[in-house]
């Protein structure tokens, strides 16, 4: 039946054609909607008139849009010295040929988007980075990929910039010959959001910064720290995930930082910790979760901080408070399934512990107000010994240790009696959970 | 044939058996007598390998008794103090022994009937009187019909009727050519049975022979007196030796020459 | 051996001690869950109980049993059976019943609480294995003590002294060495010293499955290596020796002694 068959084929072809037209029309409309009104646009591609990013930038007027189509652009250092918007399509590779910085931004209002930037210089001279912005305002660096570089994205003396959704692959093998994934120096009011950094020295490094908003980043498997801050103030760190670095959140010589809703996990090994508060003042740690760290939080000469409603779960030591720290307030935290709760090197404690949940607490609550009627002393004798003599780890879970702890609890000789939670919670807060 | 050759046993510093050599032929019933501590029980235990001597050996038809546990199949042993897994009944102990020996008792009913044990057989052993326990102990040895019977004070604590029945049984066994070796500290108790009396004193044999021979030697009709006489003579002889110090000490420590030990022969 | 084993099993069943032992462990295990511990924590807490209670109970019950059977040894050993069979029946019976009590007491709450994660299940399995190994070790030591002693009370006294020494005093020596000689590099000798003690070897065996990973930051290089890889076989070897040597010595003593 050839007639019927032909008719059926025609109908089919017609349908396909109609679909294709509809699709094309919709796509056209979408593109039209995306396009800003009158900005001049330059397109760079391996077969275009403009074959190099550098040429396009030279040709571009301030405010121009530069579209970089997929391809390899190996031009050494590309300097962006006028306000332009560079957008990659299909992740064009910008290769620095291992010379110095790959993209160097020296103008305000520059956008760098969706490029794959790689191969910066590797000598420590001048700290070469994949993308470096120096002395600029209002830059936007987003959706880029960075690899094979000493530093990833580096902002010096920048303000009001946004660095977001970048993916940074480091190849760091030793801390002294590697740089940081996102490195901010002497910068203010920068938003660092949703980036992913793996395999650098520090994942996120902020020095002499103010008013940063750092959130939703992932920083893992870095040689040194996940999130490292020095000489900064008034930064907010939210909802970041730090994992399997040597240190998770490491804050030094800073004040008035806010650390909320972050997770710091699996920092294992010699001198590894979920958080280090060194010379940190007047900062807030709230709703963070520390799980599976050798030491969850170390306070060294940290003063006047608030550590509240954090979850300390399955760490070796939950808190290590050095005697130089005072006036810190630990309240409403949950301590569960840690090998040890608190160790300290002093006999006095000028820090306040109140209304925390301790899973080792065996007190009672006669008036049923949810608060234990006898205080909890979170420092055990064995934990103290272990802090001084690491070899004593051999005796972990020995009945002798239980006996010693029991005796010490009865007649305290060595553990600081001032370090106590006078109002321990009876019930574990609902938000606290173990990964059992 | 059971042979004891040069058997010496020491418990700590106490010498209990001193180079004993004795022979127990089949079809004979021997009664070992002697005061408490003379070494009777130790000697009997050596016969079943419960006690292992420092020197010498116990031979069963030429085979060392300790060399193969299966040799004990031929020996029935009754200990001085009957001790059992107390929560079991006699019937259960019989089952246990049968399982351990991997053989059924051949003369179970006959023995239980003779010793009047049938009514007691299902009660826990812990509830039985001393005499009954002793009978159970004897029964446990007899039911397997061994060719050698080694019994430590078998009639002690038994009522006269049971003792009589046991003695009759043993006499019959001897008649069937079995070797019977009994220990007792009262000679007269078993005198009517014995072919041979072995008087043990301080781990050595002071007399070995028939009751009649003992009477003739000592001039005493009562066997206890006859033995006492024997002891006196020996002590007097020891005192006559210039080197000895005191009779009791001599009796305890002097190594009696073999010839003196075998005086009865 | 089998008839003797049956006899020993029946006797232990009647004695109710193994049942009391199992129930004690069960209550402990239950209590830990009642205090809201998760499975890994419960295993860790039970480890402390295990390394104290299993040696003590096994020694006490083993020595007692030894004297119970010595009581009727004349009856049993006069039979045509090898002494080794009677001995083996005692050893197997004792360790079998106590191991079952242990597994039952410690494991049952996990059964109805659910095993949880794979890691927690593994930790529990290693704890149970360690408990059984300790039962085998101290069962052998109990028979050795019981066989080599003439009287029950001194033997029990010796058993308790031994348990106290190995469970507590020995660790005290280790602790003194770890703290008093901290200036010297003593990780290796300390570790070797710990492994020499069956109680510590068993404890380390389980620790390897537990929270040590998070604590490695607080241990020296040797410990880290040890706790890192292949350590379980290292901890198993001394335990195997602690089963074999006392069992062989007890067997020999049983063969040689007078009854």
Span A336-381, pLDDT tens digits = 988 889 998 877 778 999 999 998 898 899 999 999 999 999 998 8
User: Rounded CA gap, C89 and C8, in Å?
Assistant: 7
Nearest CA in chain A to C179: A389
Most confident of A317-331, B124-138, B172-186: A317-331
- Find out whether A394 and A371 touch, Cβ atoms under 8 Å: no
Give the count of beta carbons closer than 10 Å to the beta carbon of residue C112. Answer: 8
Query: Shortest CB distance from B100 goes to which of C71, C73, C76?
Result: C76
Q: Which of C184 and A333 is assigned the larger pLDDT?
A: A333
C171–A401 CB contact, under 8 Å: yes
C74–B77 CB contact, under 8 Å: yes
In this prediction, residues B61-89 reach a mean pLDDT of 86
B83–C256 CB contact, under 8 Å: no
C218–A389 CB contact, under 8 Å: no
Average model confidence (pLDDT) across chain A: 90
B72–C79 CB contact, under 8 Å: yes
- Helix (H), strand (E) at residue C118: helix C118-148
Give one DSSP letter per residue of C3-36, joined into a string: HHHHHHHHHHHHH-HHHHHHHHHHHHHHHHHHTT
Q: Which of C9 and A156 is assigned the larger pLDDT?
A: A156
Distance from CA of B166 to the nearest CA of C (A): 19
In this prediction, residues B149-174 reach a mean pLDDT of 87
Distance from CA of B39 to the nearest CA of C (A): 14
Torsion of CA B39, B40, B43, B49, to 10 degrees: -110
pLDDT on residue C59: 95
A268–C41 CB contact, under 8 Å: no
Tokens of B108: 């179970």
Q: Is C57's Cβ below 8 Å from some Cβ in A? A: no
Nearest CA in chain C to B67: C82
Q: Is A410 exposed, middle or buried (0-12, 13-18, 19+ CB in 10 A)?
A: exposed
In this prediction, residues A150-175 reach a mean pLDDT of 92
Average model confidence (pLDDT) across chain B: 82
Alpha helices for chain B (secondary structure H): 40-47, 90-101, 108-114, 130-142, 160-175, 187-191, 211-218, 223-240, 247-253, 258-261
Nearest CA in chain C to B10: C258
pLDDT tens digit string along B22-57? Answer: 989 888 888 888 888 888 899 999 998 899 899 999
**Considering only A398-407, B60-69, B190-199, C136-145, which range has the smallest mean pLDDT?**
B190-199
Q: Is B209 exposed, middle or buried (0-12, 13-18, 19+ CB in 10 A)?
A: middle
Give the count of beta carbons closer than 10 Å to the beta carbon of residue A220. Answer: 18
C78–B77 CB contact, under 8 Å: yes
Distance from CA of C168 to the nearest CA of A (A): 5
Query: Shortest CB distance from C81 goes to which of B87, B100, B137?
Result: B100
pLDDT at B142 over 50: yes
Q: Please give the model's pTM, rounded to 2 decimal places.
A: 0.79
Give the count of beta carbons closer than 10 Å to the beta carbon of residue B14. Answer: 9
Q: C 7-26 residues with CB below 8 A of B?
A: 7, 11, 14
Q: Which residues of C touch B183 (CB under 8 A)?
A: none
A71 φψ region: left (φ > 0), alpha (ψ -120 to 50), beta (else) = left
pLDDT on residue B260: 37
**Considering only A305-309, B190-194, B225-229, C48-52, which range has the smallest mean pLDDT?**
B190-194
Distance from CA of B6 to the nearest CA of C (A): 18
User: Rounded CA gap, A184 and A159, in Å?
Assistant: 10
Reference A303, options A285, A329, A334; nearest CA is: A329
pLDDT tens digit string along B211-244? Answer: 888 888 888 888 888 888 888 888 888 887 655 4
Give the count of beta carbons closer than 10 Å to the beta carbon of residue C22. Answer: 20
In this structure, are strands B55-60 and B2-11 parallel, antiparallel, or unpaired?
Answer: antiparallel
Phi, psi of B235 (to 5 degrees): -70, -40
C79–B101 CB contact, under 8 Å: yes
In this prediction, residues A207-229 reach a mean pLDDT of 96
pLDDT at B17 over 60: yes
Q: Which of C114 and A207 is assigned the larger pLDDT?
A: A207
Give one DSSP letter per residue of A179-224, joined into a string: --SEEEEEEES-EEES-EEESSS-SEEEEEEES-EEES-EEES-SS
pLDDT at A89 over 90: yes
In this prediction, residues B184-204 reach a mean pLDDT of 81
* CA A91 to each of CA A40, A193, B165, C115: distance values in angstroms, whole numbers, following the listed order: 22, 20, 113, 48
Residue C1 three-state SS: coil
Query: Shortest CB distance from A316 goes to which of C179, C204, C218?
Result: C218
Q: Which residues of C touch B50 (CB under 8 A)?
A: 73-74, 77-78, 258-259
User: Rounded CA gap, A193 and B79, in Å?
Assistant: 92
Instruction: Name B23's bridge partners.
Output: B3
pLDDT on residue B212: 83
Most confident of A284-293, B125-134, B201-210, C183-192: A284-293
Query: Shortest CB distance from C3 goes to which of B73, B96, B140?
Result: B96
In this structure, are strands A72-74 and A93-95 parallel, antiparallel, or unpaired?
Answer: parallel
Instruction: Name A98's bridge partners.
Output: none
pLDDT at B177 over 80: yes
Q: Which residues of B touch C6 (CB under 8 A)?
A: 99
Measured CA angle at C11 (ends C8, C13), to 5 deg = 110
Say which residues have a Cβ less than 8 Å from residue B151's Cβ, sequence separation at least 6: B44, B76, B77, B78, B138, B141, B170, B180, B181, B182, B183
Which DSSP state fits B74?
A: G
pLDDT at A30 over 70: no
Most confident of A22-31, A342-351, A382-391, C91-100: C91-100
pLDDT on residue A46: 93
A403–C168 CB contact, under 8 Å: yes
C259–B99 CB contact, under 8 Å: no
Q: Is A397's Cβ below 8 Å from some Cβ in C? A: yes
- Find out whether B218 and B225 touch, Cβ atoms under 8 Å: yes
In this prediction, residues B4-21 reach a mean pLDDT of 89
Query: Shortest CB distance from C220 goes to which of A273, A390, A397?
Result: A390
Q: Which long-range contacts (CB under 8 A, 24 or more apart) does B117-124 make?
A: B117/B90, B120/B90, B121/B89, B121/B90, B121/B91, B122/B89, B122/B90, B122/B91, B123/B89, B123/B90, B124/B86, B124/B87, B124/B88, B124/B89
User: Rounded CA gap, A80 and A58, in Å?
Assistant: 9
B140–C74 CB contact, under 8 Å: no
pLDDT on residue A10: 64
Nearest CA in chain C to B92: C7
Best probe of the B interface among C5, C65, C80, by most B CBs < 10 A, is C80
pLDDT on residue A290: 96
Query: Shortest CB distance from C178 goes to which of A336, A387, A392?
Result: A392
pLDDT on residue A91: 95
Residues in chain A, overall count? 436
Say which residues have a Cβ less than 8 Å from residue C136's Cβ, sequence separation at least 6: C95, C99, C243, C247
Q: Which residues of A touch C31 (CB under 8 A)?
A: none
Residues in chain C where the model's pLDDT stays below 50: none
Percent of chain B beyond pLDDT 90? 5
Q: Which residues of B touch C76 (CB under 8 A)?
A: 100
């Amino acid at each position: 039946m050839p007639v019927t068959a032909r008719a059926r084929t025609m109908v089919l072809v017609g349908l396909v054609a109609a679909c294709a037209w509809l699709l094309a029309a919709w796509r056209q409309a979408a593109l039209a909607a995306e396009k800003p009104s009158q900005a001049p646009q330059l397109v760079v591609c391996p077969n275009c008139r403009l074959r190099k990013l550098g040429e396009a930038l030279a040709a571009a007027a301030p405010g121009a849009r530069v579209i970089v189509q997929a391809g390899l652009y190996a031009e050494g250092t590309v300097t962006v010295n006028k306000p332009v918007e560079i957008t990659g399509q299909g992740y064009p590779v910008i290769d620095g040929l291992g010379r110095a910085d790959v993209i160097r931004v020296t103008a305000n209002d520059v956008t760098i988007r969706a490029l794959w930037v790689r191969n910066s210089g590797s000598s420590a001279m001048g700290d070469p980075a994949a993308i470096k912005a120096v002395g600029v305002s209002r830059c936007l660096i987003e959706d880029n990929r960075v690899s094979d570089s000493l530093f990833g994205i580096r902002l010096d003396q920048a303000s009001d910039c946004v660095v977001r959704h970048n993916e940074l692959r480091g190849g760091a093998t030793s801390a002294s010959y590697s740089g940081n994934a996102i490195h901010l120096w002497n910068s203010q009011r920068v938003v660092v959001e949703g980036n992913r950094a793996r395999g650098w020295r520090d994942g996120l490094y902020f020095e002499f910064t103010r008013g940063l908003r750092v959130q939703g980043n992932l920083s893992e498997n870095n040689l040194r720290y996940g999130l490292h801050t020095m000489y900064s103030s008034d930064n907010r760190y939210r909802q970041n995930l730090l994992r399997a670095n040597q240190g998770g959140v490491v804050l030094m010589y800073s004040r008035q930082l806010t650390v909320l809703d972050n997770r710091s996990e699996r920092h294992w090994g010699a001198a590894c910790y979920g958080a280090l508060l060194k010379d940190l003042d007047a900062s807030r740690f709230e709703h963070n979760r520390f799980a599976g760290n050798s030491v969850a939080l170390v306070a060294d000469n940290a003063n006047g901080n608030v550590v509240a409603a954090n979850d300390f779960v399955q760490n070796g030591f939950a808190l290590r408070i050095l005697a130089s720290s005072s006036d810190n307030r630990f309240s409403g935290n949950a301590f569960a399934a840690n090998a040890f709760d608190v160790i300290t090197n002093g006999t006095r404690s000028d820090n306040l512990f109140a209304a925390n949940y301790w899973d080792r607490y065996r007190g009672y609550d006669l008036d049923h107000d949810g608060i234990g009627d006898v205080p909890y002393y979170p420092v055990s004798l064995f934990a103290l010994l272990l802090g001084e003599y690491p070899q004593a780890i051999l005796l972990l879970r020995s009945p002798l240790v239980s006996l010693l702890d029991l005796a010490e609890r009865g007649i305290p000789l060595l553990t600081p009696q001032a370090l106590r939670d006078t109002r321990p919670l009876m019930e574990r807060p609902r938000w606290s959970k173990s990964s059992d | 044939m059971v042979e004891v050759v040069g058997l010496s046993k020491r418990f700590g510093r106490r010498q209990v058996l001193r180079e004993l050599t004795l022979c127990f032929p089949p079809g004979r019933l021997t009664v070992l007598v002697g005061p408490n501590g003379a070494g009777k029980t130790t000697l009997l235990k050596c016969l079943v390998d419960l006690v292992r001597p420092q020197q010498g050996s116990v031979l069963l038809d030429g085979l060392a008794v300790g060399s193969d546990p299966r040799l004990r199949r031929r020996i029935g042993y009754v200990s001085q103090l009957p001790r059992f897994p107390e929560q079991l009944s006699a019937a259960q102990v019989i089952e246990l022994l049968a399982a351990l020996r991997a053989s059924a008792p051949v003369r179970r009913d006959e023995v239980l009937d003779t010793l009047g044990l049938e009514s007691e057989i299902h009660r826990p052993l812990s509830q039985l009187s001393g005499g009954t326990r002793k009978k159970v102990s004897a029964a446990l040895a007899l039911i397997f019909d061994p060719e050698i019977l080694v019994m430590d004070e078998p009639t002690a604590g038994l009522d006269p009727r049971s003792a009589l029945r046991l003695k009759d049984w043993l006499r019959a066994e001897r008649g069937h050519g079995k070797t019977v070796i009994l220990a007792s500290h009262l000679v007269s108790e078993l005198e009517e049975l014995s072919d041979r009396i072995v008087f043990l004193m301080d781990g050595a044999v002071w007399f070995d022979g028939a009751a009649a021979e003992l009477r003739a030697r000592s001039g005493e009709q009562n066997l206890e007196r006859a033995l006492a006489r024997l002891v006196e003579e020996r002590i007097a002889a020891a005192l006559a030796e210039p080197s000895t110090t005191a009779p009791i000490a001599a009796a305890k420590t002097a190594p009696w020459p073999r010839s003196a030990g075998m005086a009865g022969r | 051996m089998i008839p003797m084993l049956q006899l020993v099993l029946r006797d232990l069943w009647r004695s109710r001690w193994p049942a009391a032992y199992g129930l004690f462990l069960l209550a402990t295990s239950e209590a830990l869950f009642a205090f809201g511990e998760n499975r890994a924590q419960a295993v860790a807490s039970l480890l402390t109980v295990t390394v104290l209670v299993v040696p003590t109970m096994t020694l006490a019950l083993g020595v007692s049993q030894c004297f119970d059977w010595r009581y009727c040894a004349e009856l049993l050993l006069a039979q045509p059976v090898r002494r080794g069979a009677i001995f083996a029946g005692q050893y197997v019976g004792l360790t079998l019943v106590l191991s079952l009590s242990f597994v039952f007491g410690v494991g049952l709450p996990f059964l109805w609480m659910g095993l949880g994660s794979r890691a927690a299940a593994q930790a529990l399995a290693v704890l149970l294995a360690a408990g059984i190994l300790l039962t085998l070790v101290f069962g052998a030591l109990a028979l050795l003590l019981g066989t080599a002693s003439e009287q029950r009370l001194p033997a029990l006294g010796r058993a308790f002294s031994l348990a106290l020494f190995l469970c507590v005093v020995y660790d005290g020596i280790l602790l003194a060495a770890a703290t008093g000689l901290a200036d010297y590099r003593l990780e290796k000798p300390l570790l070797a010293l710990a492994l020499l003690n069956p109680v510590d070897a068993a404890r380390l065996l389980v620790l390897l499955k537990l929270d040590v990973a998070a604590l490695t930051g607080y241990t020296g290089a040797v410990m880290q290596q040890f706790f890192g890889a292949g350590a379980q076989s290292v901890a198993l070897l001394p335990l195997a020796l602690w089963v074999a040597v006392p069992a062989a010595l007890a067997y020999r003593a049983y063969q040689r002694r007078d009854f």
